[in-house]
């Protein structure tokens, strides 16, 4: 465990790989701005040219920030996003990366993330395993997800590139987040079958009451499972975009320091033993879908096959 100021220094030194007198922007929302001040204090102690911009709270993950925020995001050499909602898949973030801004994102941010959990990882030590799994994704064509509670989902990743999200944003234009995973964008119209979501979704998921998602030709066509399902259906309907129901991502959690709590999706989706299917926008992942947002559906202890070879067995890597 760390003191918050020490955790903030670790993020700036290790994950963002700061350079002395470098220009760094801290981007926070109203609701996270008080806790984000630890980065300001840490940056000043480390002799960084650091400022913080506070934007109004966004409504959901993947919502585009205000135009003035979008422009500010393109100005620094490095940026740390300490926000409630994730803007990782937004056009604003992608354009900042294209300008060469080095970005590290911490959605669902609270000061607790500077003290315990994912931050305690030895990021340089776990990096090779993440890149190995991303490389396997690169070469595969068909993915199958199965689980003891009923998941049976198949889709294609042919021609898509695996991404190693190793939490190390150290090169110009690089983007990483506190979500440590290997991920890839499925071909948008290829997902068919059942996915049982039993850990987390944009709405609260009660353990042992999984939501059953039925996919057909890439879209969620049915959501079942008592109160969890009704909340999720209502939430997605209110986004007001049919593409929010389209498959966007496969991710596999790879941070041994993350704990499965059901309370913080960034920590949950990074936990060993979990996988997640993202829905909605995926253009930042190499896909083709534009949507108003991006949401991850997290499931525990899956069997995952790449071209009929089992790579994940009951949530555990077997490579």
> How do residues 4-42 score in pLDDT, each as one tens digit?
999 999 999 999 999 888 999 999 999 999 999 999 999
Domain identity same for 18 and 131: no
Domain identity same for 136 and 233: yes
Which has the higher per-residue pLDDT, 176 or 202? 176
pLDDT at 207: 59
Domain identity same for 234 and 146: yes
Q: Tell me the CATH number at 34.
A: 3.40.50.980
pLDDT at 12: 97
Residues near 56 by beta carbon (within 8 Å), at least 6 away in sequence: 29, 30, 66
Mean pLDDT taken over the chain = 94
Segments forming the whole domain that contains residue 100 = 4-115
Residue 255, both tokens: 């941070």
Domain boundary (69, 98, 115) is at 115
Domain identity same for 129 and 79: no
Return d(Cα 284, Cα 173) in angstroms, integer.
Answer: 13
Domain identity same for 173 and 299: yes
Domain boundary (75, 100, 115) is at 115
pLDDT at 206: 64
Statement: residue 199 has pLDDT above 90: no
* Overall number of domains in the chain: 2
Q: Is the pTM of this model over 0.85?
A: yes
SS3 271: strand
Domain identity same for 218 and 285: yes
Q: Using pLDDT thresholds of 50, 70 and 90, give the confidence band for residue 205.
A: low
Domain identity same for 12 and 140: no
Statement: residue 208 has pLDDT above 70: no
Domain boundary (84, 115, 146) is at 115
């Amino acid at each position: 465990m760390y003191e918050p100021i020490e955790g903030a220094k670790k993020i700036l030194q290790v994950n963002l790989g700061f350079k002395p007198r470098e220009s760094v922007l801290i981007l926070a929302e109203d609701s996270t701005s008080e806790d984000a001040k630890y980065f300001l204090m840490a940056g000043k102690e480390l002799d960084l040219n650091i400022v913080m911009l506070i934007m109004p709270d966004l409504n959901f993950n993947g919502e585009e920030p205000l135009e003035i925020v979008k422009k500010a995001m393109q100005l620094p050499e490095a940026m740390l996003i300490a926000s409630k909602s994730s803007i990782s898949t937004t056009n604003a973030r992608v354009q900042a990366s294209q300008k060469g801004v080095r970005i590290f994102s911490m959605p669902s941010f609270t000061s607790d993330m500077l003290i315990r959990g994912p931050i305690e990882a030895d990021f340089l030590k776990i990096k090779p395993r993440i890149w190995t799994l991303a490389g396997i994704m690169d070469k595969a064509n068909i993915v199958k997800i199965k689980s003891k509670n009923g998941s049976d989902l198949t889709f294609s990743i042919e021609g898509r590139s695996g991404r190693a999200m190793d939490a190390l944003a150290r090169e110009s234009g690089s983007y990483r987040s506190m979500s440590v995973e290997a991920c890839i964008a499925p071909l948008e119209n290829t997902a068919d079958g059942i996915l049982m979501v039993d850990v987390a979704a944009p709405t609260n998921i009660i353990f042992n009451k999984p939501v059953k998602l039925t996919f057909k030709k890439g879209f969620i066509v049915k959501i079942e499972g008592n109160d969890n399902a009704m909340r999720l259906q209502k939430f997605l309907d209110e986004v007001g975009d049919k593409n929010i129901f389209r498959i966007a991502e496969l991710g596999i959690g790879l941070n041994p320091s993350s704990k499965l709590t059901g309370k913080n999706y960034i920590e949950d989706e990074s936990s060993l033993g979990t996988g997640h299917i993202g829905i909605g926008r995926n253009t930042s992942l190499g896909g083709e879908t534009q949507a108003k947002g991006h949401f991850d559906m997290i499931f525990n202890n899956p069997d995952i096959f790449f071209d009929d070879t089992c790579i994940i067995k009951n949530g555990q890597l077997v490579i």
